[in-house]
Structure 1
C-alpha cells in the first residue's frame, strides 16, 4: 500500500487563507488587496494555502515587457506540518492558476535570505533564477519592520504613508532572491538570458519556506487574473 498522502487543492475563502497565513506563515499577515487564494488539503485535512497577487509594484512585469494583466507574484505559501513536498504543492497551484488565467504569462516570486531562505522550492520545480532584487530600507513601526513602500504609500491596496519617518528606527534590507516561472515559449526566450546559477541550498528543499513579502504584497485587478468570481471572492 502506498504511503503517499492524498493531496487536494481548491479555491478557498478569504477567512481560510487568513487563518493559514496568521498561524503558519512567519509574516502573520495577509497581502494587501485582492488575492487569488488556493487552499491545500492533505488526507482531507486543511493544511494551508497558496496565495497569488499582483505584487506591490505596478512595474512588476515591466522589465519583461508585460503589463499588469500578464504578470503576478506568488506572495504566500502558508502551510502547517504536512507530508507532501512543498514543491509539489506549489506546482499544482501554479497549474491551477495557469488554467484559469489565460492571459497570464509570468509568475514572479522571491525568497528572503534574511529569513534564511534561498528558494529551494522553486529550484525543485525548475523556476528561472535571475539574481537578487536591489537592497532597500525598512522602518520599525507598530511593532514590526515595514518596507519602504508601506511608509511612502506606494503599496497597492491603500495609502499607508507614515509621517516623520526620520524618528523611526531604520535598517537596510538586503535584496531577495528572484525566481521566474514563464508560461509560454516567447516568455521563456525572454527570461532565459537572465538565468543565473541557483544559490546554494542551506537545508532541505522542503525546509525552505516562501519568502516573507510583508509590505510587498499587492493586489490583482479583476482583469489581471480571470478566475471565476464565485470561486475567487467567496
Structure 2
C-alpha cells in the first residue's frame, strides 16, 4: 500500500529502551513507539507483522487495508502484533456512527494477537500504549473502531477492559470452506477478489453458509468527539446474555 500523508513516518534506526521509565520511543527519523524496557510497542515492518498474524491469529489472514503495524515486546521479546488501518467502507461506514468523520480521522484495529505467555492484562496495556503512539504519530485520528465476534468467545472483554465504548451488535454472514471464512462479497467482486474469490466461486457447492454476532467497539483518542456520536453507547454485553433485537436509541441533543 502506497504511503500517504496521514500514515506514520518510518522511524529509521531504533534502539530498544534500556530503562523502566515509560514514555515515547524515538527512532533516528521519527517516532518509533511507546513504553519501557519491560513492555513497549514499536513500529514493525509490514512483512514481519503480516507473517506473525498469518501464523498465529485465529483468522489466519491479514487485512490489506492495514497501514500501522506495531510489535509488542515484553521482557525484550517480541510477543505480539497490532495492525490498524482502513475499514471495509472507509468513509460512509465511519460517518454512520460518528458524524463528519473523514478517512484520516479514525482507524480500525484490523488485527491483534499476543502470545499466550504474555502476562495477564497485556492486551489492554498494549492497546493503551498503541493509542499513545497513534495520538502523536497520527494527530488527526480521533477514534479507533474494532469488532469482536462469537469466535472470540469473550464478546469483546479485552475492549471492555481497555475503556472502549460499546456501540451495539449485528449479525453477519460468511461462507465456511475448508476451515476458512469467506465474505459473501467474494462471490460477486470478481475483479478485486483474487485467488480467494476464484476459489470460493469454484467451490461454492461445498461451502457452508454461517452467521455470527459481531460487536462494535469504539475508543476515543479525542474524548470531545463523543458529542459526534449518532448512537448512544450501550452497556457491555456478556456471553450468554440474550441481546435485544431492536434499534439502538439515538444520542439526545443534550448528551
Report the counterpart of residue 49 of structure 2 in structure 1: 17
- Give the match for residue 119 of structure 1: 156
Counterpart in 1 of 2:173? 137
Aligned length, in residue pairs = 197
When residues 154 and 114 of structure 1 are mapped into structure 2, their CA distance, relative to the original with a 3 A threshold, is: farther
CA RMSD of aligned residues (A): 2.8
C-alpha distance after superposition, 1:24-52 (max 9, x if no partner): 31112211244210011111111011110
* Partner SS, residue 104 of structure 1: coil
Larger CA Rg, structure 1 vs 2: 2
Equivalent-residue separation in structure 1 for 2:214 and 2:61 (angstroms): 19
| Structure 2 gap ranges (5+) | 1-19, 21-36, 241-255
Instruction: Compute the TM-score of the two structures, normalised by the length of structure 1.
Output: 0.73
- Unaligned runs of 5+ residues in structure 1 are 203-234
SS at match of 1:176: strand
The structure where strand makes up a greater share of residues is 2
- Is 2:181 the counterpart of 1:149? no
Q: For the structure 1 residues 21 and 28, does the alpha-carbon distance in structure 2 shift closer, same or farther, using more than 3 Å as the test?
A: same
Partner of 2:17: none
Normalized against structure 2, the TM-score is what?
0.68
Q: Counterparts of 1:164 and 1:27 in 2: how far apart (Å)?
A: 21
Matched, 1:38 2:85: no
Q: Is the 8 A contact 2:149 2:215 kept in 1?
A: yes
Q: Quick one: higher RCO (CA 8 Å, sep 6+), 1 or 2? A: 1
Q: Which residue pairs with 2:221 in the alignment?
A: 183
Which digits, 9 at most, give the CA deviation of each residue in 1:159-200, with x for residues without a partner?
344547863523232231110112324411233852111012
Shift of 1:103: 1.4
Give the 3 Å change call, closer, same or farther, for CA 137–14 of structure 1 in structure 2. same
8 Å CA contact 2:176, 2:210 repeated in 1? no
Q: 1:175 to 1:143 in 2, by over 3 A?
A: closer
